[in-house]
Amino acid sequence: GKELDGITNGTVLIRNTDCHDSGIYSCHAENIVDSTQAQKMIQISRNVTMDKFTIKNIKGGGRFTPGDKVTMQCSVSGCPAPEVLIMTDDTNKTMITKPATSSIIYEIKSVQCSDMGTYYCRPELWDGRNIVEKVDLTISQCPVQLCRGEEKSKIMTVATNTSVNFSVCVLSVTKPVWKNKIKTNDISVTFTKRDQTSYLYYLVNIRINTRKDKEFERTIEI
């Protein structure tokens, strides 16, 4: 390792310490009779913070179409490095994990509409703090699609002459619309943001009014 200057009576002063000063320090002394050596581990701790979580295509931009290569990079500052750095999708599925590192990269070689959504970067820190950064992967030319984990169909049995309300989560680059081809008072559909910090997720809020003298089955197309 590097030699330290300014040793006086076996004492050395390290000024303006940074993360690179962590390590094992050795002290060796000798005279004409004998020699001896001692070691000490020094760990420098600086508050670990998340740097910006970036997402780029092969040209360096942030806009994507199906087939593009996507590179996501997440890093932290401070020391010691996280025990583990993890990248997950919006269902908490682990995309990539790496131990004892301050930076992690995840690549999608040919992105598809099914990859659209929010991705999260989480470090497991030695002090137990929970910090996270997220980024939206937006892919143009993609149709409205169900959020990951959302059921493709719902079968509901309700009493007549009542109302039932339910919501379905969808992913869309722009605000979706209801393709209502038949005017009816039986069904009303509204759209709201599911998450105010992301512009990809919408809730399709559906209200169905049943009648006492009428049974019906409806397919709702978004």
Contacts of 89 (CB under 8 A, 6+ apart): 95, 117, 118, 119, 120, 148
CA gap 170, 175 in Å, rounded? 10
Domain regions of the chain by residue span: 1-44, 47-137, 145-209
Per-residue tokens: 211? 């009648």
CB 204 within 8 A of CB 222: yes
Task: Write the pLDDT tens digit of every residue in 102-156.
Answer: 889 999 999 999 999 999 999 887 777 788 899 999 998 899 999 988 887 777 7
Q: According to the model, what pLDDT value does residue 22 have? A: 75
Burial of residue 183, with CB atoms counted within 10 A of its CB: 0-12 exposed, 13-18 middle, 19 or more buried: exposed
Per-residue tokens: 70? 């996507």
Contacts of 153 (CB under 8 A, 6+ apart): none
CA gap 69, 134 in Å, rounded? 19
Tell me which CATH homologous superfamily contains domain 47-137. Answer: Immunoglobulins (2.60.40.10)
CA gap 76, 86 in Å, rounded? 12
Per-residue tokens: 52? 């910006």
Q: According to the model, what pLDDT value does residue 81 have? A: 75
**Three-state SS for 30?**
strand
Compute how many other C-beta atoms are within 10 angstroms of the C-beta atom of residue 168.
18
Low-confidence ranges of the chain (pLDDT < 70): 1-10, 19, 43-46, 59-61, 180-185, 212-222
Q: According to the model, what pLDDT value does residue 5 have? A: 60
CA geometry: angle at 159 spanning 192 and 149, to 5°? Answer: 40
**Three-state SS for 89?**
coil
Torsions phi, psi for 169 (to 5 deg): -90, 130
